[in-house]
């Protein structure tokens, strides 16, 4: 009886939002691959910390903000330890020690210790009635205090401080807000928007004291007054500290893990210690510490891929968007609103309706935006900021105008527009969920799609979208992604996801596990599944795809592709071909569009003779490899083509045994006199090598490389990223349009990404070539 392989143990230190979300993401990819242990310092299971302010405001219940049930952990065999603090990590022995004296080993460790509230270092902070607003216990204490006391003071006029203040007003308290700056939410708003917000919140019952610096909290055992540097003071029964947060790095620092403002991580969330990762508010990435949900959730997706051994996905930073969760306030801010020398702004103030919007541009790209009063365009503006879309002058002006009814503005949003930034849920996904699942309430939408389930800022837009879907004005048709083929109801993406999740190793396993309707499948699914198996498992690619350039056809015969070569070699080739046609009468010859010959009608026992006679260059199978097109129309040209031929040979050797998502034609020209129209065009001009993607009519300039050396550094990385992230049979042009030209440029020219992609390409190429040479010595 075979022995069961011991599963690796992953331990999470921290069961907050980032920690638990990374567990969920890991379970989507490889649910049965690890033993999971989660350690939380708070004595309760995980909950949505951001919704604590909604609890104070009466919009959520304490029990309703838990993210998982107790059964969720037991059903997945996850060990959850609450009320336990980790004191030390021994990164050399891979052991952690808790405050209860217990030692625990790990194979991989994730630090998700979050952040701690900043408590002002002034006299009196130890008094009763002085608290932070960070944990579920803090929230319960505030509710209890409000039943006995009536005067509250919040230190901090930022996002969380204002939401806490609103919650205390809901609990019946008189609330003062003290802020060191002269504007509230100064990191997200300009003076105009801050004034509009302050006026609205004053009307709701908040009293503001701006430009105040706290020096002391006085009273007996309980605080009863707060004092400021200008000599003034305010009477109070409760002081809530909400003056910011600090990454919780003490454990990492004392354990010898590199820290700065946060725990320093790379683009894959790896720390300085081997097999130790960090995620969430405790992390510092490229010098930035994030405290918003969206970037933290983006980190968790990368971390899950890394823990499961997947390559390609990296975290390179995030665009921040802010929305205040206070009833009666419509406020949205996205991107960088700080003004630089190169910044240009346009703004409009509608005093009649109390609406304001400000847009910040650098050149022709939107860098940041502030909306007050009408925030429906927030999703569209966020998309423009993230994609760095170049805008015409009239398009910039149009962004200042919000036309039509609320339903009309919702209708103008494209299906791909993200409604929920935290969970990356688009308008189209919500519409499909509502229609397929017959959803009728925002809570149902939240359950099925996760939209509005994190920070809750998009909840009003989700409600507006739901009302629009249920109205007579709704007439949109959302394209449903078709199934892979008639053999299954699953889409191609769903099939691939399940192949990874279940670690399926063969066509038979896939078709059995995923309940294929036909036992043997069809040509479409067999070919597609074979491609993905080859990408997932190198040994499958070596066994099934590397066949000396021989392709098996449905009639049982094989074909091979032969590069005829230069003119002085062609006479010998055609002589040998003529002899083969006389020897094997079933053979047929077809000229391809790439100046190669396809020899068809070869029986399996004839393959060796045909390949040996023609000197067939061994390569990966046709239809998913790189082709070199060196025969461009140069009839009007006297330019030397030596460099183009050299490039062609280098790229051919590099990708000879590398599988591609689709047939990829590379046109290489050492001057501009030809008519290049390949999937990838490399054209030498007077200023350097132009790299274009797509056909002649619709090609896009990817980049201009100054010389051949830099060209050969970039092009293999571009092709490797394409082969890792494209769908099967997806052309380079369709791929670049789907994932975005700017995004691909960032990947290709990022030093860390380039190094990783190059390592993966080299490993694939060398492994395949070595295996092929071992299996086909007679042709090498």
Q: For residue range 383-437, what is the model confidence (pLDDT) as tens digits?
A: 888 877 888 888 888 887 764 455 567 777 777 677 887 887 888 888 888 887 8
Confidence of residue 708 (pLDDT cuts 50, 70, 90): confident
Looking at per-residue pLDDT, the higher value among 695 and 256 belongs to 256
What local confidence, expressed as pLDDT, does residue 176 receive? 97
Statement: residue 532 has pLDDT above 70: yes
703's CB contacts (< 8 A; 6+ apart) are 691, 714, 745, 748, 749
Q: How far is CA 292 from CA 110, 281, 298, 308, 327, in A?
A: 19, 8, 11, 25, 20
Lowest mean pLDDT among 107-116, 181-190, 324-333, 765-774: 765-774
Q: Which residue is it, tokens 């346009």?
A: 346
Residue 667 has pLDDT above 90, yes or no: no
Specify the pLDDT at position 262. 96
Q: Residue 771 — very low, low, confident or very high, per pLDDT cuts 50/70/90? A: low
Q: In 3D, which of 226, 282, 275 has the Cα closest to residue 17?
A: 282
Exposed e or buried b per residue across 488-509, where buried means at least 16 C-beta atoms within 10 angstroms of its C-beta: bebebeebbeebbbeebeebee
- Backbone phi and psi for residue 712, each to the nearest 5 degrees, phi listed first: -75, -10
What integer pLDDT is reported at residue 563 of this predicted model? 63
Q: What single-letter DSSP state applies at residue 455?
A: S
Q: Where are the domains of the chain?
A: 8-115+247-307, 130-243, 420-480, 492-536, 550-614, 626-774
SS3 239: strand
Give the separation between CA 100 and CA 87, rounded to whole angstroms: 9
Q: Which of 208-212, 213-217, 393-397, 411-415 is predicted with the least confidence, judged by mean pLDDT?
A: 411-415
pLDDT tens digit string along 264-303?
A: 999 999 999 999 999 999 999 999 999 888 889 989 988 9
Cα–Cα nearest to 130, from 50, 209, 67, 214:
214
Rounded Cα distance between 434 and 449, Å, is 10
Which region among 158-172, 231-245, 513-527, 681-695 has the lowest average model confidence (pLDDT)?
A: 513-527
Q: What tens digit of pLDDT does each residue of 73-91 get?
A: 999 999 999 999 999 999 9
Q: According to the per-residue pLDDT averaged within each range, which of 457-471, 541-555, 686-700 is highest? A: 457-471
Q: Which of 85-94, 245-254, 459-468, 673-682 has the lowest mean pLDDT?
A: 673-682
The Cα 85–Cα 41 span in angstroms is 5
> Identical fold at 8-115+247-307 and 130-243?
yes
DSSP string, 240-279: EE-S-EEE--HHHHHTT--BSSSEEE-TT-B-SSTTEEE-
Among residues 187, 163, 182, the alpha carbon closest in space to that of 335 is found at 187
Residue 776 has a pLDDT of 46
pLDDT at residue 618 above 80? no
User: Tokens standing for 577?
Assistant: 């071909």
Q: Over the stretch 717-728, which tens digit does the pLDDT of each residue have?
A: 999 999 888 888
- State how beta strands 343-350 and 558-563 pair: unpaired
- pLDDT grade, residue 16 (50/70/90)? very high
DSSP reduced 3-state for 192: helix
Confidence of residue 628 (pLDDT cuts 50, 70, 90): low
* Cα torsion 458, 243, 145, 83: sign: positive
541 or 647: which leads in pLDDT: 647
The CATH homologous superfamily of the domain defined by 420-480: BFD-like [2Fe-2S]-binding domain (1.10.10.1100)
**pLDDT in the model for residue 634:** 44
- State whether residue 761 is helix, strand or coil: helix
User: Within 13 Å of residue 710, how many CA atoms lie on the same side as its CB?
Assistant: 11
Check residue 779 and give its pLDDT.
38
pLDDT at 581 over 60: yes
374 pLDDT above the threshold of 50: yes
The CB density around residue 471, as the number of other CB atoms within 10 Å, is: 12
What per-residue confidence (pLDDT) applies to 673?
66
- The crossing angle, in degrees rounded to 10, of helices 159-170 and 191-203 is 10
Q: What is the pLDDT of residue 772?
A: 55
What's the number of CA atoms in the CB half-sphere (13 Å) around residue 684? Answer: 16
Neighbour count for residue 68 (Cβ, 10 Å): 18
Which whole number is the average pLDDT over 9-13?
97
Q: What is the pLDDT averaged over residues 342-369?
A: 89
Mean pLDDT over all residues of the chain?
83
Topology, domain 626-774: Sulfite Reductase Hemoprotein; domain 1 (3.30.413)
Q: Report the run of H or E that residue 690 belongs to, with start and end.
A: strand 688-693
Closest CA to 525 of 485, 481, 489, 496: 485
Q: Are 115 and 281 in contact (CB under 8 A)?
A: yes
Taking 3-state DSSP, the helix, strand and coil percentages for the chain, each rounded to the nearest 5, stand at 35, 25, 40
Q: Which of 178-182, 322-326, 669-673 has the highest mean pLDDT?
A: 178-182
pLDDT of residue 280: 94
User: Which run of H or E residues covers position 90?
Assistant: strand 86-90
pLDDT at 568: 46
Give the whole-number percent of the chain exceeding pLDDT 70.
Answer: 86
Which pLDDT score, from 0 to 100, does residue 780 have?
37
**What span, in angstroms and rounded, lies between the C-alpha atoms of 628 and 582?**
31
β-pairing, 550-552 with 558-563?
antiparallel
Q: Which pair of tokens denotes residue 733? A: 């042009």
For 78, the token pair is: 């996850």
Q: Quick one: which of 268, 292, 312, 280 has its CA closest to 739?
A: 312
Residue with the bigger pLDDT between 767 and 603: it is 603
Q: Which residue has the higher pLDDT, 332 or 177?
A: 177
**Which range is least confidently modeled, 49-53, 150-154, 509-513, 557-561?**
557-561
Instruction: For residues 326 and 200, give the distance between their C-alpha atoms in angstroms, rounded to a whole number.
Output: 11
Report the run of H or E that residue 219 belongs to, with start and end.
Answer: strand 214-219
Q: For 546-572, how does the pLDDT look when each residue is reduced to its tens digit (9 = 90+)?
A: 454 565 554 667 777 676 654 445 677
Instruction: Calculate helix-pair angle for 607-614, 567-583, nearest 10 degrees.
Output: 150
Is CATH 3.40.50.970 what the domain over 130-243 is classified as, yes or no? Answer: no
Asked whether residue 512 carries a pLDDT value surpassing 80, the answer given is: no
Q: What letter would DSSP give residue 168? A: H
User: Which of helix, strand or coil describes residue 223?
Assistant: strand
What integer pLDDT is reported at residue 1 of this predicted model?
A: 39
* pLDDT confidence of residue 3: 46
User: What pTM, to 2 d.p., does this model score?
Assistant: 0.64
User: Which pLDDT belongs to residue 459?
Assistant: 82
Q: Which residue has the higher pLDDT, 381 or 436?
A: 381
Distance CA 636, CA 749 (A): 36
Where is 523: in which H helix or E strand?
A: helix 523-536
The CATH-assigned architecture of domain 8-115+247-307 is 3-Layer(bba) Sandwich (3.50)
Fold of the 550-614 domain:
Alpha-Beta Plaits (3.30.70)
Please compute the mean of the pLDDT values over residues 118-143 and round it to a whole number: 93
Closest alpha carbon to 7 in 35, 28, 29: 35
Confidence of residue 623 (pLDDT cuts 50, 70, 90): very low
| CB 749, CB 710: distance < 8 Å | no
What element of type H or E holds 578?
helix 567-583
Residue-level pLDDT at 639:
61
Contact between residue 682 and residue 666 where contact means Cβ atoms under 8 Å apart: yes
């Amino acid at each position: 009886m075979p022995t069961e392989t011991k599963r690796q143990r992953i331990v999470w230190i921290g069961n907050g939002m980032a920690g638990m979300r990374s567990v969920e993401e890991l379970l989507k990819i490889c649910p049965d691959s690890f033993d999971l242990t989660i350690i939380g310092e708070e004595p309760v299971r995980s909950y949505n910390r951001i919704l604590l302010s909604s609890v104070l405001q009466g919009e959520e219940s304490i029990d309703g903000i838990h993210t998982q049930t107790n059964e969720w952990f037991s059903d997945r065999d996850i060990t959850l330890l609450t009320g336990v603090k980790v004191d030390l990590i021994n990164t050399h022995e891979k052991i952690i020690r808790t405050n209860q004296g217990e030692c625990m080993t790990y194979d991989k460790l994730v630090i998700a210790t979050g952040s701690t509230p900043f408590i002002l270092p002034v006299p009196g902070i130890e008094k009763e009635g002085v608290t932070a607003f960070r944990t579920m216990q803090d929230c319960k204490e505030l509710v209890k205090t409000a039943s006995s006391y009536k005067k509250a003071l919040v230190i901090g006029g930022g996002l969380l401080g204002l939401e806490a203040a609103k919650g205390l007003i809901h609990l019946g308290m008189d609330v003062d807000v003290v802020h060191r700056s002269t504007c509230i939410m100064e990191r997200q708003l300009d003076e105009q928007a801050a004034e509009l917000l302050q006026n609205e919140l004053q009307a709701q019952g908040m009293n503001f004291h701006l430009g105040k610096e706290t020096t002391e909290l006085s009273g007996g055992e309980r605080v009863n007054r707060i004092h400021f540097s200008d000599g003034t003071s305010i009477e109070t029964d409760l002081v809530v500290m909400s003056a910011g947060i600090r990454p919780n790095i003490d454990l990492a620092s004392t354990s010898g893990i590199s820290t700065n403002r946060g725990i320093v991580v790379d683009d894959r969330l790896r720390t300085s210690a081997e097999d130790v990762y960090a995620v969430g508010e405790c992390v510092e990435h490229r010098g930035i510490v994030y405290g918003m949900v969206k970037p933290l959730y983006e980190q968790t997706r990368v971390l899950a891929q890394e823990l499961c051994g997947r390559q390609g996905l990296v975290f390179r930073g995030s665009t921040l968007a802010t929305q205040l969760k206070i009833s009666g306030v419509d406020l949205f801010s996205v991107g960088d609103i700080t003004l630089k020398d190169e910044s240009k702004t346009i703004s409009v103030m509608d005093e009649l309706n109390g609406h304001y919007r400000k847009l910040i541009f650098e050149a022709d790209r939107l860098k940041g935006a502030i909306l007050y009063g009408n925030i429906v365009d927030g999703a569209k503006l966020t998309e423009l900021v993230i994609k760095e879309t170049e805008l015409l002058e009239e398009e910039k002006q149009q962004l200042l105008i919000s036309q039509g009814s609320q339903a009309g503005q919702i209708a103008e949003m494209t299906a791909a527009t993200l409604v929920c930034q935290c969970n990356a849920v688009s308008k189209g996904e919500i519409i499909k969920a509502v229609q397929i699942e017959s959803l009728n309430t925002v809570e149902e939408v939240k359950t099925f799609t996760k939209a509005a389930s994190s920070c809750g800022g998009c909840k009003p837009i989700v409600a507006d979208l739901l009302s629009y879907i249920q109205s007579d004005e709704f007439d949109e048709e959302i394209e449903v992604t078709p199934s892979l083929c008639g053999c299954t109801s699953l889409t191609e993406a769903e099939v691939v996801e399940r192949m990874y999740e279940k670690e399926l190793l063969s066509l038979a396993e896939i078709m059995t596990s995923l309940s294929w309707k036909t036992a043997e499948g069809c040509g479409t699914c067999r070919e597609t599944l074979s491609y993905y198996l080859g990408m997932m498992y190198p040994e499958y690619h070596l066994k099934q795809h590397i066949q000396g350039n021989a392709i098996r056809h449905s009639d049982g015969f094989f074909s091979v592709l032969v590069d005829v070569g230069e003119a002085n070699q062609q006479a010998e080739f055609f002589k040998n071909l003529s002899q083969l046609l006389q020897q094997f009468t079933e053979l047929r010859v077809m000229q391809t569009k790439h100046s190669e010959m396809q020899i068809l009608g070869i029986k399996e026992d004839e393959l060796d003779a045909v390949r040996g006679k023609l000197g067939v260059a061994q390569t990966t199978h046709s239809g998913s490899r790189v082709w070199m097109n060196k025969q461009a129309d140069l009839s009007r040209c006297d330019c030397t083509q030596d460099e183009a031929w050299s490039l062609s040979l280098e790229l051919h050797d590099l990708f000879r045994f590398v599988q591609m998502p689709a047939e990829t034609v590379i046109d290489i020209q050492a001057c501009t006199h030809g008519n290049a129209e390949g999937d990838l065009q490399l054209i030498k001009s007077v200023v350097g090598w132009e790299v274009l993607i797509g056909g002649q009519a619709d090609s896009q300039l990817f980049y201009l490389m100054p010389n051949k050396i830099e060209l050969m550094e970039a092009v293999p990385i571009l092709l490797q990223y394409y082969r890792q992230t494209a769908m099967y049979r997806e052309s380079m042009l369709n791929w670049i349009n789907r994932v975005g030209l700017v995004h691909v440029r960032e990947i290709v020219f990022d030093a860390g990404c380039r190094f990783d992609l190059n390592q993966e390409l080299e490993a694939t190429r060398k492994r395949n070539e070595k295996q092929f040479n071992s299996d086909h010595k007679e042709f090498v």
